[in-house]
């Protein structure tokens, strides 16, 4: 449905997107995951014809997004990172406007948004600017869906949204894919990767890995250790200098250390104690997506 | 199927909900026409005058009396010394200081010429010029009286040239008839330029343009959707201005109002095009407002509304040839006061049409470049 082929975007001397290549299948929920400034928005903006790629090609359902931009504009629903509806129009007027400019009506495609719009219906005469964050987001999703797009492109829809609304939003997306709609969603939250069919991990303009969350975690091929200590900060300093460490970093309140060979946890505890780190508990840890992401960043550095 | 009707519906909805725009559209014209017309009076009355009379003759007292009787002057004192008089001028106690030198009458009768010293506060050049003009008229009256008196009326009528003015198209030189049409132009221009540039930039500022660009809406539809409402509002302002002018100030309407609206229609496309041009060069409504204001002031000062274009130096006159406001002010005055017909103002129509084409082509090119 969506195909990126060696896509490059530069801003002056910085390369925002570096030879991005991936495909998204019909009905797939695809996540672009990476920190701020990784190039997620640039990729999405090229896909929805707001930005021209410097090199490479992007197609939507076989149509080139540059040459056939009008096809793309008719057939994608885009939700930008910032709320971009008319705050001085009511909920219903916004929805009606976006339906009408696509040559359709709310009634015609109501079934697509029914479930989401039901929650908005009590506020339909309220100005969009007066809605709560979660409601604004639902309205934006409705407006992006009302013309029955082939693909939905959502730029960080869950950033700055509370945990409950985020969970709710993801389950809405999941249900939407069952209608055959393709969804590309970007997020800076690695834990949201588990909610996608497949994800692309991006850092510094480069797609480092594209796979299912299972595949991504399984590709972690180092030993991972969790170290808790009385003073985590000192422990981190010491472990960074440790000869066996590939990398050591903080994760939640623990220090994570990856090594290429097996370690004797007791031996490490003693070593830490000698360096002045008391109360150290060393255990083998199961890697998750965060660990794989740190690992990938190290490989690409 | 075009998205334009839906865009227009949305624009009008937004305009009528905008708490900043509504007063500009409805309150500004009324305030401007009811207050500014009365304030922008170029006549000057009650100029504070002090007189130092060192002559104390019949002629000097007569001159003094004429100033006292004049509606333009108010004699506010007679300083004892010249220094005191100049001090009062310095301290803004008086605007004009007239000195009648000693032996004024004697010299005048003996040699036929007498001189008066006049000090005028020149801070307000226009007021100073007018004061000087009024004084000259009073002195001229005095001259006539002296001639009549000394010749014992013998030559009262012989060899005298009298100028009798008749002012065409504005017989009473009613300044309101000159100012009001100009202020209407100002109104139409301000609403057109400010509101359009702000309205287009608004979509960029609040980010909705992102969403709009990912719809089948074409660029021309977006632009027309943004500009057309202000074209309608601009013409509405003109109608409102004319109504106030006729009902409140009883300004004459000699010509065809339809002709005026036809010209205003083309004129507004020039102004809206300029608004669009400003919007393509700015990112926020505030910037758009400032840039529009900058152009507005230049156009206004060089429009002939406050200073006749004929009084400007040649280079400035040449600049006014590119000032659309100057053409509209000309046309509105010609049509309202003189009753000019299309053939009289066809040159104005041609020029404004050229402006309309040039500005809009430039604006659309500039808009495209930005959007790319």
CATH number at residue A296: 3.30.70.100
Residue A286 and residue A171 share a domain: no
* Residues from B in contact with A at Cβ < 8 Å: 1, 3, 6-7, 9-10, 13-14, 17-18, 206-208, 210-211, 213-217, 372
pLDDT tier at A18 (50, 70, 90 boundaries)? very high
Structure tokens that stand for A166 in this block: 């985020």
Cβ contacts of B10 on chain A, cutoff 8 Å: 86, 89, 93, 97
CA of B17 to nearest chain A CA: how many angstroms apart? 7
By Cβ distance, the residue of B14, B207, B216 closest to A88 is B14
| Same domain as A270, residue A127 | no
Q: What is the domain range of residue A41?
A: 2-217
A153 has pLDDT over 80: yes
Determine the Cα angle at B130 with ends B129 and B131, to 5°: 90
| Res. A90 pLDDT band, cuts 50 70 90 | very high
Q: Is the pLDDT of residue B165 over 70?
A: no
If one compares A96 and B43, the residue with the highest pLDDT of the two is A96
Same structural domain, A23 and A162: yes
Rounded alpha-carbon distances, angstroms, from residue A65 to A49, A58, A275, A287: 6, 6, 58, 38
A45 and A169 assigned to the same domain: yes
CATH number, residue A36: 3.40.50.300
Tell me what pLDDT residue B159 has.
Answer: 45
Contact at CB, B216 and A87, closer than 8 angstroms = no
State yes or no: pLDDT of B352 exceeds 90.
Answer: yes
pLDDT tens-digit readout, A243-291: 888 889 988 888 999 998 888 888 888 888 888 888 888 888 899 888 8
Average pLDDT on A99-106 reads 94
Helical pair B324-333 and B342-371, crossing angle rounded to 10 deg: 150
Q: Which range, A171-180, B23-32, B88-97, B168-177, is most confident?
A: A171-180
Most confident option among A14-23, A256-265, B311-320: A14-23
CA neighbours closer than 13 Å in the CB half-sphere of residue A269: 13
- Once rounded to an integer, what is the mean pLDDT over residues A180-188? 94
At residue B265 the predicted structure's pLDDT band, cuts being 50, 70 and 90, is very high
The predicted model gives A13-39 an average pLDDT of: 93
Low-confidence winner among A71-85, B71-85, B158-172, B307-321 (lowest mean pLDDT): B158-172
Mean pLDDT to the nearest integer, B4-16? 93
Evaluate if residue B205 carries a pLDDT over 80: yes
pLDDT at B157: 44
- Greatest mean pLDDT range, A5-19, A252-266, B29-43: A5-19
Report d(CA A149, CA A182) in Å as an integer. Answer: 9
Average pLDDT over residues A78-90: 91
Nearest to B207 among A84, A88, A101 (CB): A84
Pairwise CB contact (< 8 Å): A50 & B217: no
CA distance B69 to B356: 54
What average pLDDT does range B130-142 have in this prediction? 81
pLDDT of A64: 96
Residues A42 and A181 in one domain: yes
Residues A185 and A287 placed together within one structural domain of the fold: no
Q: Does one domain contain both A49 and A144? A: yes
Q: Looking at CA atoms only, how far is residue B208 from chain A in angstroms?
A: 4
Interface of A with B (CB under 8 A): 48-50, 52, 70, 73-74, 76, 78, 80, 82-89, 93, 97-98, 100-103, 143
Q: Are residues A172 and A293 in the same domain?
A: no
Chain B hits for A98, CB-CB cut-off 8 Å, are: 211, 215
How would residue B153 be classed by pLDDT, with cut points 50, 70 and 90? very low
Q: Of A205-209, B88-92, B368-372, where does mean pLDDT reach its minimum?
A: B368-372
Confidence grade of residue A61 (pLDDT, cut at 50, 70, 90): very high
Strands B96-100 and B47-53: parallel
Residue B172: pLDDT over 70: no
Contact A224, A216 (CB under 8 A): no
- Chain B residues touching residue A103 (CB < 8 angstroms): 1, 3, 216
Span A201-214, mean pLDDT?
92
Q: Which residues of B touch A73 (CB under 8 A)?
A: 213-216
- Residue of B14, B21, B214 to mutate when probing chain A, most A C-beta within 10 A: B214
Q: Cα(first)–Cα(last) distance of chain A, in Å? A: 32
B156 pLDDT more than 50: no
- Looking at the structure of chain A, the number of domains it has is 2
Q: How many CB atoms lie within 10 A of CB A241?
A: 9
CA distance to partner chain A, nearest, from residue B1 (Å): 7
Q: What does the pLDDT read at residue B120?
A: 86
pLDDT at position B158, please? Answer: 42
Rg of the Cα atoms in chain B: 28
CB contact under 8 A, A49 and B7: no
- All structural domains of chain B: 4-40+171-371 (no CATH), 47-150 (3.40.1710.10)
Contact yes or no for A101 and B14 at CB 8 A: no
A145 and A275 together in one domain: no
Residue A196 banded pLDDT, cuts 50, 70, 90: very high
**A183 and A258 fall within a common domain:** no
Torsion on CA atoms A70, A74, A75, A78, rounded to nearest 10: 100
Q: What's the pLDDT tens digit per position in B222-264? A: 989 999 999 999 999 999 999 999 998 888 899 999 999 999 9
Residues of A in contact with B12 (CB under 8 A): none
Please give the backbone phi and psi of residue A257, each rounded to the nearest 5 degrees, phi first. -135, 130
If one compares B17 and B111, the residue with the highest pLDDT of the two is B17
Contacts of B7 in chain A (CB under 8 A): 101
Residue-averaged pLDDT of chain A: 91
A155: chain B residues, CB-CB within 8 Å? none
Domain end among A193, A217, A241:
A217
Domain-ending residue, one of A168, A188, A217: A217
User: What pLDDT was estimated at residue B372?
Assistant: 46
Q: Are A124 and A91 in contact (CB under 8 A)?
A: yes
> Which residues in chain A touch residue B206, judged by CB atoms under 8 angstroms apart?
84, 87
Label residue B171 by pLDDT band (50, 70, 90).
low
Interchain proximity A85–B3, CB inside 8 Å: no
B318: left (phi over 0), alpha (psi -120 to 50) or beta: alpha
Q: Give dist(CA B290, CA B311) in Å, integer.
A: 29
pLDDT (tens digit per residue) in A115-143: 889 989 999 999 999 998 888 989 999 99
Residues of A in contact with B3 (CB under 8 A): 100-101, 103
Mean pLDDT over residues A100-118, rounded? 92
Which has more confidence, B10 or A253?
A: B10
Q: CB A100 to CB B214 under 8 A?
A: no
pLDDT at residue B56 is higher than 80:
yes
Res. B155 pLDDT band, cuts 50 70 90: very low
- Same-domain check for residues A206 and A256: no
Average pLDDT over residues A31-46: 93
- B54 contacts B99 by C-beta, under 8 angstroms: yes
Q: How far is A166 from chain B (nearest CA, A)?
A: 22
The DSSP secondary structure of B224-274, one letter per residue, reads HHHHHHHHHHHHHHHHHHHHHHHHHS-----S-HHHHHHHHHHHHHHHHHH
Of A192, A217, A242, which marks where a domain is finished? A217
A189 to chain B, closest Cα gap in Å: 24
Same domain, A237 and A209: no
Average pLDDT over residues B28-54: 80
Q: What integer best gives the mean pLDDT of chain B?
A: 85
């Amino acid at each position: 449905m969506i195909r990126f082929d060696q896509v490059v975007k530069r801003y002056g001397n910085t390369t925002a997107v570096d030879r991005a290549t991936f495909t998204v299948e019909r009905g797939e929920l695809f996540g672009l995951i990476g920190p701020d400034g990784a190039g997620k928005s640039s990729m999405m903006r090229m896909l929805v014809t707001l930005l021209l790629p410097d090199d490479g090609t992007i197609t939507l359902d076989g149509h080139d997004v540059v040459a056939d931009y009008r096809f793309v504009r008719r057939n994608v629903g885009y939700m930008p990172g910032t709320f971009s509806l008319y705050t001085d129009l009511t909920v219903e007027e916004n929805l009606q406007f976006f339906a009408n400019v696509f040559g359709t009506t709310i009634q015609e495609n109501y079934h697509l948004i029914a479930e989401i719009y039901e929650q908005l219906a009590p506020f339909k005469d309220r100005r969009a600017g007066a809605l709560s964050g979660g409601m604004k987001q639902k309205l934006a999703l409705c407006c992006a869906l009302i013309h029955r797009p082939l693909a939905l492109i959502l730029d960080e829809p869950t950033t700055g949204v509370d945990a409950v609304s985020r969970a709710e939003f993801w389950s809405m997306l999941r249900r939407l894919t069952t209608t055959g709609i393709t969804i590309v969603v970007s997020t800076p939250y690695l834990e949201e990767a588990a909610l996608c069919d497949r994800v692309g991990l991006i850092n510094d303009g480069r797609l480092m890995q594209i796979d299912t969350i299972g595949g991504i975690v399984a590709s972690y091929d180092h030993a991972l250790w969790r170290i808790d200590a009385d003073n985590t900060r000192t422990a981190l300093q010491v472990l960074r200098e440790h000869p066996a460490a590939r990398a050591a970093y903080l994760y939640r309140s623990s220090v994570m250390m990856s090594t290429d060979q097996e370690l004797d946890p007791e031996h490490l505890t003693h070593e830490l104690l000698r360096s002045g780190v008391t109360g150290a508990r060393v255990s083998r840890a199961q890697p998750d997506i965060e660990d794989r992401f740190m690992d990938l960043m190290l490989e690409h550095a | 199927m075009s998205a334009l009707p839906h865009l227009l519906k949305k624009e009008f909805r937004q305009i009528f909900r905008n708490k900043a725009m509504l007063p500009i559209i409805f309150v500004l014209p009324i305030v401007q026409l009811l207050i500014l017309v009365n304030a922008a009076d170029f006549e000057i009355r009650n100029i504070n005058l002090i007189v130092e009379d060192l002559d104390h003759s019949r002629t000097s007292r007569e001159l003094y009396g004429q100033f006292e009787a004049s509606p333009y002057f108010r004699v506010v004192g007679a300083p004892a010394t010249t220094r005191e008089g100049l001090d009062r001028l310095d301290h803004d106690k008086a605007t004009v200081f007239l000195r009648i030198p000693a032996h004024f009458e004697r010299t005048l009768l003996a040699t036929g010429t007498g001189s008066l010293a006049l000090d005028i506060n020149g801070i307000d050049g226009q007021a100073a010029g007018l004061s000087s003009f009024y004084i000259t008229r009073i002195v001229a009256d005095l001259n006539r009286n002296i001639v009549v008196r000394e010749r014992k009326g013998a030559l009262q009528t012989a060899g005298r040239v009298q100028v009798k003015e008749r002012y065409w198209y504005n017989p009473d030189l009613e300044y309101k008839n000159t100012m009001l049409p100009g202020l209407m132009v100002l109104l139409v221009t301000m609403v057109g330029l400010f509101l359009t540039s702000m309205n287009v930039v608004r979509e960029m500022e609040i980010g909705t343009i992102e969403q709009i660009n990912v719809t089948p809406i074409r660029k021309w539809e977006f632009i027309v959707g943004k500009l057309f409402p202000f074209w309608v509002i601009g013409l509405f302002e003109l109608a409102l201005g004319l109504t106030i002018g006729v009902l409140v100030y009883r300004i004459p309407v000699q010509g065809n109002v339809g002709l005026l609206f036809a010209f205003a229609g083309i004129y507004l496309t020039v102004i809206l095009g300029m608004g669009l041009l400003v919007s393509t060069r700015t990112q926020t409504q505030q910037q758009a407002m400032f840039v529009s204001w900058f152009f507005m002031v230049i156009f206004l000062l060089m429009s002939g509304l406050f200073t006749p274009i004929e009084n400007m130096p040649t280079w400035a006159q040449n600049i006014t040839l590119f000032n659309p406001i100057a053409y509209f002010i000309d046309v509105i005055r010609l049509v309202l006061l003189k009753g000019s017909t299309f053939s009289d103002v066809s040159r104005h129509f041609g020029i404004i049409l050229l402006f309309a084409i040039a500005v809009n082509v430039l604006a659309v090119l500039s808009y495209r470049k930005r959007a790319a």
